[in-house]
Amino acid sequence: MGLFDEAFGVHPFSMELRLNRAEIISSNLANVDTPGFKARDVDYKQIMQSVASELDTSSQPVSVGLSQNDQLMFRVPYQASEDGNTVELNVEQANFFSNSMDFQTSLTFMNMKINGLYKAIKGES
């Protein structure tokens, strides 16, 4: 495990995955009125569990981004539409907001870690 991985753990990968998920949700939102469009998402928790276990057992750096194994899943709508579109605006907006807040939390954590490392290098307490 590299120095970067030891200092920051899973947070850089988490942030990259959150960015990828934001793109997926944005695509869903952009296609809210497209007949037959199927809303997609990834299982963030399952991916992060596999990454965390990989970080614990691997001496190699963890690759960033969605891999072939992290397949997009289709979302099942709460209420079906007549045109076959499975995007539900309120669900996608809530998911986008939640994903954004989680990204901001990870970013805040990373900033605190970087500031702590910076102070340690400068010899400040």
The pLDDT of residue 42 is 92
The total domain count for the chain is 1
Angle at CA of residue 114, ends 109 and 118, nearest 5°: 150
Rounded to whole angstroms, the Cα distance separating 62 from 67 reads 11
Looking at 27-31, 55-59, 71-75, 89-93, which range is the least confident one? 55-59
Q: What is the pLDDT of residues 89-120, one digit of tens each?
A: 999 999 999 999 999 999 999 999 899 889 98
Rounded to whole angstroms, the Cα distance separating 44 from 123 reads 38
Report pTM. 0.80
Contact 19, 11 (CB under 8 A): no
Domain span including residue 18 = 3-122
